[in-house]
């Protein structure tokens, strides 16, 4: 089971912006989309979670270590705010559990034999494509 980490609301900066895309006359006058910014370095998250977040190759994390999430799925500002916070917590909870250490294993004798037989079969097919000798 993964540990559940919550983010305090005062560490998150939420800005209401206009949503993109089609929406008729309403989309041009109402700011219903949400732009969420969360600075990893200044957050109260444990150090190991912050380090794993910064190492994560997610496009939502900028080079400065700021998580930027844009939510515009719903027509309601409150629903978009909740969606952005949910996505932020999902991102943090994904790295909350420490990664499992990899145990080095060796291939079985049967798998090595199968691989070598496949290579020999392929080599004989390719050898048959050469020039015909005298």
Is 103 part of a structural domain of the chain? no
Q: Does residue 55 lie in a domain region?
A: yes
35 in a domain, yes or no?
yes
Share the mean pLDDT of the chain. 87
CATH of the domain at 36: 3.30.160.20
pLDDT in tens, 4-23: 777 777 888 988 888 887 76
- Is 44 within a domain? yes
Rounded average pLDDT over 40-60: 87
Q: Is 121 part of any domain?
A: no
In a domain, 30, yes or no: yes
Residue 125 lies in a domain: no
CA 133 to chain centre: 56
- Does residue 58 or residue 24 have the better pLDDT? 58
Please state, as a whole number, how many other Cβ atoms lie within 10 Å of the Cβ of residue 38: 25
From residue 60, alpha-carbon distances to 12, 28, 47, 64, 104 in Å are 15, 26, 20, 11, 33
Number of domains in the chain: 1
Structural domain for 35, as ranges: 9-96
pLDDT of residue 134: 67
The partner residues of 35 in beta bridges, in order of sequence, read: 15, 70
DSSP, collapsed to helix, strand or coil, labels residue 132 as coil
Higher pLDDT, 23 or 73: 73
For residue 24, the model assigns a pLDDT of 67
Statement: residue 1 has pLDDT above 60: no
* Percent of the chain residues past pLDDT 70, beyond the cut: 92
Position 73 in a domain: yes
Map residue 122 onto helix, strand or coil.
helix
Count the neighbouring beta carbons within 10 Å of the beta carbon of residue 91: 18
């Amino acid at each position: 089971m993964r540990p559940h980490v919550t983010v305090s609301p005062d560490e998150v900066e939420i800005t209401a912006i206009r949503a993109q895309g089609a929406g008729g006359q309403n989309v041009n006058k109402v700011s219903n989309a949400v732009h969420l910014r969360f600075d990893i370095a200044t957050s109260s998250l444990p150090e190991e979670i912050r380090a794993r977040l910064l190492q994560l190759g997610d496009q939502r994390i900028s080079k400065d270590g700021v998580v930027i999430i844009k939510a515009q799925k719903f027509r309601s500002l409150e629903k978009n705010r909740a969606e952005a916070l949910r996505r932020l917590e999902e991102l943090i909870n994904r790295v909350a559990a420490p990664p499992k250490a990899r145990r080095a294993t060796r291939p079985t004798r049967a798998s090595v034999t199968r691989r070598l037989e496949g290579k020999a079969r392929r080599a004989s097919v390719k050898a048959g494509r050469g020039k015909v000798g005298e």
